[in-house]
Chain A
Amino acid sequence: MGPIDVPSSPLIPKDTFKRLQNERYTEWLKVTRDWVFGGPDIAQKVGPYLIFIHSSEGSPEKHLLSRMDEVRMYGGFPVQGGGSAVGTYRGVEIWILHQYMGCTATQMWMECLAGTGVRYLIGLADMTAYLDHVAVGDIVLPSCATRGDLVTDFHVTADLPASADKRLLGRLEGKLGDFDWDVHVGQVYSGMPGGVGVHNPILRERIWQQMQEGIIGNAIETSVTYVESSRLRIRAAEAWVVSDDLSHGTVESVPGGAAQWERAWSLMAQAALDVFYDIADEEGNL
């Protein structure tokens, strides 16, 4: 029979605790990074241009990989979770990650970018829209996000906004503007639970309030991505396709919704790759 413990931990001096925590963090970063990127020391090889897919179904990375050459995949990629991919697009090396869902997971992935060569990040994912005029298949470019994630409060004060890199967002908007597609730029909410219809009076009221403020919808991982990118000195912007909304339902329940959704992913992938090509061209990295 195993004993039931009566707490009796010895008192640990604060500096000892901090030293040990620092050692553990170093170990944590090494093993987590190796898992996130899909192999030992791959993180050290990552270049400046990263496409970061937040938990999305339907293997959206196919829209990226099919446009790239010399693709290599590490770890479990392209399944959501550990592993990464790298390839070239018109001669520019571009890396891809696909995290699993949620704000905690996003922060874990972002922490793994610390000290790497990543300087630009474009996040792609699908989201819930609140407002009537934003329909399934539309694309949303979050200029800023209300920080409902709670976990970034550990790293920066709660009053700081989660904002996109204005120039990078502008580039995305410019590329997407070349297509005949509905694109909305504005403020989103970020946090869980992600969708609408959750059985919760707090959320029901909160979403109503957000609609009054003109918030487009819930892009769960945007605030963590933007805040952590700022902390890590990475320029970040995101594009989200609407997979469901309050007025009309889900991709599956809207006539033609699935086709619209796939097409939007294709456009976002094209825009992201073209933006990185332009930046690489300007920076002399071709």
Chain B
Amino acid sequence: MSLANDRKAYEEAYTRRSALTWAMDPSGDEARVRDWSRSVLVVASSPSYGGHIASLFDSIVHRHCYIPGLGQGETTEYFGGFYRGRKCTVMHLGITPGARGASYMDMGLERLRYGRCENVILIGEGSSIQPDVKVGDLVVALVTIPEDDIHRAYSECGAPAMADHALCSALRVEASQSERMTHCGVCWSCGAGAGVFDLALSERAFELHELGVMADALEASTAYTLGKMIGFRVASLWLVADSIFEPIPWTCPSPRLSWEGGWEDLVQTGLNALVSFRNGEDDG
């Protein structure tokens, strides 16, 4: 009898397959990083700035690197250490250079599922659809409209995806310490290949512009919806990398802006919010 005719056998096979997919050596590097901290900064990008981010830490205690060609001491995408005296973990979603998108978001969160993670701050680059949300500004996505390539796998009703309010407040406070203009409000998880610049989306983009939606925050919708299902607090912060109202400033789709051009502030704001948010259990 085939699996297609035997629901019980299907369930067993699915469970076996699930264990195979997400199996992790409990004494391996990946599990050590995963279990290091309750607070995780998820970077919706390739690990291009991994070295910069690691340099902001007091010390790195555990590293895991699974990108072919990268090794110990090189740019890494997944590590745990002490940031301002507190335990914190950083995960890059990009398993390949340039990678980003909602498809990577779900894999990243699933890798955290059985660890100690409780609080997730997602950072990434967004596209503005408001003239006063300018390239280089920061955006806290309180709510997102899910129109990415994956949202219906997690919620069939199409309802807006909500960030964790308390974590958003921490982000707002920390963002106000930076020199960058910070906006807080509704974002759009737009999964079109050309993002908000897709010509087939001109009506939709204008409609959302008129409603006051600020920017495209592609991975936020999946992060909020799936994160909540797993039991994480999730909030997100976005660096505006381009805008309907300004000439496109970048030449590489991910990451689009430079470290000095915004990523440093983006990362520091995210890390500061994480360590200011939670209690002292993870203190060094």
List the interface of chain A (C-beta within 8 A of B). Answer: 1-5, 7-12, 14, 17-18, 20-22, 24-25, 27-29, 31-32, 34-35, 55, 76, 79-82, 100-111, 130-133, 148-151, 154-155, 191-200, 202-204, 206-208, 211-212, 214, 220, 244, 246-247, 249-250, 253
List the interface of chain B (C-beta within 8 A of A). Answer: 2-4, 7, 10, 13-14, 16-22, 46, 95-99, 101-104, 106-107, 110, 113, 130-133, 137-138, 147-154, 156, 172, 175-185, 191-202, 204-206, 209-210, 212, 214, 218, 229-230, 242-245, 247-248, 250-253
Q: How far is the CA of A193 from the CA of B149 in the complex (A)?
A: 9
- Having A4-B172, A212-B4, one finds 11 other A-B pairs with CB under 8 Å, namely A21-B199, A22-B199, A22-B202, A28-B194, A100-B96, A151-B192, A154-B204, A193-B153, A197-B21, A207-B14, A208-B7
Q: Is the CB of A9 within 8 A of B131?
A: yes
Quote the shortest CB–CB distance from B188 to chain A (angstroms).
Answer: 13
Q: Is the CB of B251 within 8 A of A35?
A: yes
- Contact A9 B212, CB 8 Å, known A103-B191, A154-B201, A246-B13: yes
B3 in complex: contacting residue of A79, A107, A132, A192, CB < 8 Å: A132
Q: Is the CB of B244 within 8 A of A31?
A: no
Q: Is the CB of A108 within 8 A of B132?
A: no
Q: Is the CB of B113 within 8 A of A199?
A: yes
Q: Is the CB of B103 within 8 A of A102?
A: yes
Q: Is the CB of A17 within 8 A of B103?
A: no
Q: Is the CB of B244 within 8 A of A4?
A: no
Residues of A within 8 A of B202 (CB): 17-18, 21-22
Residues of B within 8 A of A104 (CB): 101-103, 148-149, 191-193, 218
B194 in complex: contacting residue of A5, A29, A80, CB < 8 Å: A29
Task: Kindly report which residue of chain A lies nearest to residue B22, judged by CB atoms.
Answer: A197
- Contact A151 B131, CB 8 Å, known A3-B181, A27-B247: no
